[in-house]
Amino acid sequence: MIYTPAALAVTVFALFVALTLGLSFYFAAKTRSSSSYFAAGGSIHWFVNGVAFAGDYLSAASFLGICGMIASYGYDGFLYSIGYLAGWIVALLVIAEPLKRLGRYTFADALDSRFQSRAIKLSAGISTLAVSLFYLIPQMVGAGALVKPLLGLPHWVGVSMVGAVVMLIVVTAGMVSTTYVQFLKGALLVIFSAILTLLILNRGFTTDPQNAGYRAPRSTAAVEPGSATAELMQSVDSEILPAEGPWKNRPYLRTKDRTTGAVTIWRETPADAGLVKYYETQTLTKLADGKELVNGLPHGTGTGETDFYPVGNITRLPDGASSTGPLGPMQFFSTLEESELMLWSKDPAKIVEPDGAATTFFYPQLTSGSDVLLPGKSPTFSGIRGDAAWPKLNFISLMLALFGGTASLPHILIRYYTVKDQTAARKSTVVGIATIGFFYLLTLFMGLGAMTSGVIDVSSANNNMAAPLLAKSFGELLFAMISAIAFTTVLGTVSGLIVAASGAVVHDLMTSVGRMQMTDHEKVRAGKWAAAVVGLMAIGLGIVFEQMNVSFLVGWAFSVAASANLPSLVMLLFWKKTTRQGITAAILVGMTASLVWILLSGDTFKDVYGLPPESAWAPFSQPGIVTIPLGFVVLTVVSLLTQEHEARAVARR
């Protein structure tokens, strides 16, 4: 869809970014040493730190990706919410305190505190960098998705803007400023999501959403297959085009308006008793000369041009009602269970004409409400409803990675060091879990609200913008606020990740491995240079991965983090025979195996290389179920083999 920026939205947005930058500069003046640059000098209050945990964690992926996935497919997006929060239980109950006792600034520091090994520093530094970069991709993709409707700018501009602003934030300040930015944004995100949820419940469900531009697609009565006529399509001044060439044996039927020449494409959909109905589709045709047609007319907002129209509605409410009025939270779900919805899908098979024009189809499907409230509706998880074993393993693998990934993320770990002691770290984490858990409850309301409010943009492959567009249906101001908060969400998360990555470069790679002698001041300067380089890399990756759902990308980042770091963390804390060789080997093997697996998976083949997913080498997409246990096995075996060596090393010390 084409979006025109509204003055109000731009103003609110600019104010937010200015406020964020202002905060950064203010705290920058107070950052004097490398300790306060990288870990805020252990000086942050536990409540602020707890909400900042939520700010770090509720990234673009949580807000945009999960809501988008729920808006597209229902319950499946909520599986991510459940997995992400469960990961906090691992972090709090198993990892947090022992780690804090070991800790310095980075994951590598913590691992190294027992062994003083350059090899561990090197491997942990590399894995921190790899995980940070992987986690940066979805944040940048989310930023690009946001600025499109907000400011009417293309994806790459959004990505570059976030990159530039974040580099400015990080280079000027460091951990204290990112903590306060995270606190502010974490709190605002939860408050405004709660407001949005209240508005959704207050509006209730209706079969006729009053959103600007929304309309229901035209459809016909049920007829015998093959008996369609122009009259049936209610467009008397039209003719049906013959199903020739690439249109043969496809479920589409074309009517051409004799006056305007516009072609409407209808999809044949099975109805009761062997009959069929025809539903109007939305189409995007790319002509050989590069021009685009939408629904048969030139794509644009001028006269004679057209754009996609927003969709997604309830077609039937319980007892034939046309609207429900205000609903309670429980009623919201029980009403949906008994309703019928219209969801839109993209046909993966385009039709390419002999002249090179390629048409992509978006078509509506009636779906029962009870179906969207169950797992397995999305293409990502549909395999769990079948009998094949691989898709089930793929699902278990993802849920395992989400479970173990949180504690293994470098930018979450680093926040354990920003409060003064264990009690404060514990309180922070409880505040974090409460804030994050509450937010995840809201994702289900926001996603399902977007699904049924006539705000879905069919042309957005990943639906990353569903939540902000839902806010727009309640008015421009709420849209501007939510978008600006989402944008600062991206800013905050990206800043935290870049600080973690630059910490890894300076502490682990330059000072410890490279044995470079640096003063405090030089360390901070080197950290800032590293932050700038990582920021530039993130911008590039954010542009390349535009088409993917951000939550899906985050799933991968969790897999890499859990595979590389979880075995070392857990075994270091709970197995006395762990050796430095074991840790080094586990990190390198876990990281490499998970990265290679992802690069050879069907989803990467399809969305990144543009190759058929069937030709992928990995049997399923999510590596965790193989590579996390692999890390544990490698660590155990190598540690047992190097016991004697370790004993000698300890004796020498």
Partner 1 sequence: MHIGEEHRGAAGPADDDTPLIAARNARTGMRLFAIYLPLYAAFVLICAFAPGWMAQRPLAGINLAIWYGFGLLGGALLLALVYSWLCRAREAL
Residues lying near partner 1 in the complex (CB under 8 A) are found at 27, 30, 32-33, 35-36, 39, 41-45, 48, 75, 78-79, 81-82, 85-86, 88-90, 92-94, 97-98, 100-101, 103-105, 176, 330, 333-334, 337-338, 370, 373-376, 384-385, 392, 395-396, 399-400, 403, 417, 419-423, 426-427, 429-430, 433-434, 437, 440-441, 444
Structural tokens at position 566: 């979880």
Report the residue number, 90 or 450, with the smaller CB distance to partner 1: 90
Report the residue number, 33 or 234, with the smaller CB distance to partner 1: 33
Question: What's the rounded Cα separation, in Å, for the pair 453 and 451?
Answer: 6
CB of 103 to partner 1, least distance (A): 6
Structural tokens at position 576: 């006395």
CB of 182 to partner 1, least distance (A): 14
Report the residue number, 330 or 651, with the smaller CB distance to partner 1: 330
Q: 36 with 176: CB under 8 angstroms? A: yes
Picking from 489, 622, 492, the residue whose alpha carbon sits closest to that of residue 557 is 622
Within 8 A by CB and 6+ apart from 473, the residues are: 209, 210, 211, 212, 453, 454, 455
Report the residue number, 216 or 373, with the smaller CB distance to partner 1: 373
Picking from 421, 492, 400, 464, the residue whose alpha carbon sits closest to that of residue 57 is 492
Q: What is the dihedral of CA 499, 409, 608, 379, to 10 degrees?
A: -140
CB of 120 to partner 1, least distance (A): 18
Question: What's the rounded Cα separation, in Å, for the pair 199 and 344?
Answer: 24
CB of 377 to partner 1, least distance (A): 10
CB of 418 to partner 1, least distance (A): 8
Report the residue number, 438 or 529, with the smaller CB distance to partner 1: 438
CB of 466 to partner 1, least distance (A): 19
CB of 79 to partner 1, least distance (A): 7
Question: What's the rounded Cα separation, in Å, for the pair 362 and 345?
Answer: 6
CB of 327 to partner 1, least distance (A): 12
Question: What's the rounded Cα separation, in Å, for the pair 15 and 402?
Answer: 35
CB of 432 to partner 1, least distance (A): 9
CB of 186 to partner 1, least distance (A): 16
The one-letter amino acid code at 205 reads: F
Question: What's the rounded Cα separation, in Å, for the pair 243 and 249?
Answer: 8
Report the residue number, 79 or 151, with the smaller CB distance to partner 1: 79
- Sign of the Cα torsion 105, 426, 139, 599 reads positive
Report the residue number, 94 or 119, with the smaller CB distance to partner 1: 94
Report the residue number, 281 or 578, with the smaller CB distance to partner 1: 578
Question: What's the rounded Cα separation, in Å, for the pair 117 and 581?
Answer: 9
Burial 214-229 (b: 16+ CB within 10 A, else e): bebbebbeebeeeebe
Structural tokens at position 39: 């870990």
Report the residue number, 220 or 512, with the smaller CB distance to partner 1: 512
CB of 41 to partner 1, least distance (A): 3
Helix (H), strand (E) counts: the chain? 24, 12
Residue entry with tokens 């078509």 = 363
Report the residue number, 202 or 370, with the smaller CB distance to partner 1: 370
Element containing residue 616 per DSSP (H, E): none
Task: Tell me the H-state helices in 152-210.
Answer: 155-172, 175-203
- Please give the radius of gyration of the chain, using alpha carbons only, rounded to the nearest integer: 26
Burial of 210 (0-12, 13-18, 19+ CB in 10 A): exposed
DSSP 8-state symbol, 110: H
Q: What angle do CA 430, 436, 442 make, to 5 degrees?
A: 140
Contacts 24+ apart (CB under 8 A), 298-302: 299/2, 300/2, 301/2, 301/4
Q: 628 with 401: CB under 8 angstroms? A: yes
CB of 440 to partner 1, least distance (A): 6
Question: What's the rounded Cα separation, in Å, for the pair 407 and 567?
Answer: 11
Report the residue number, 344 or 445, with the smaller CB distance to partner 1: 445
The one-letter amino acid code at 22 reads: G
Picking from 471, 467, 362, 373, the residue whose alpha carbon sits closest to that of residue 73 is 373
Report the residue number, 13 or 417, with the smaller CB distance to partner 1: 417
CB of 281 to partner 1, least distance (A): 30
Q: 502 with 480: CB under 8 angstroms? A: no
CB of 5 to partner 1, least distance (A): 36
Report the residue number, 27 or 309, with the smaller CB distance to partner 1: 27
CB of 114 to partner 1, least distance (A): 15
Backbone angles phi, psi at 446, to 5 degrees: -65, -45
Report the residue number, 287 or 441, with the smaller CB distance to partner 1: 441
Strand partners, 223: 276
Report the residue number, 38 or 362, with the smaller CB distance to partner 1: 38
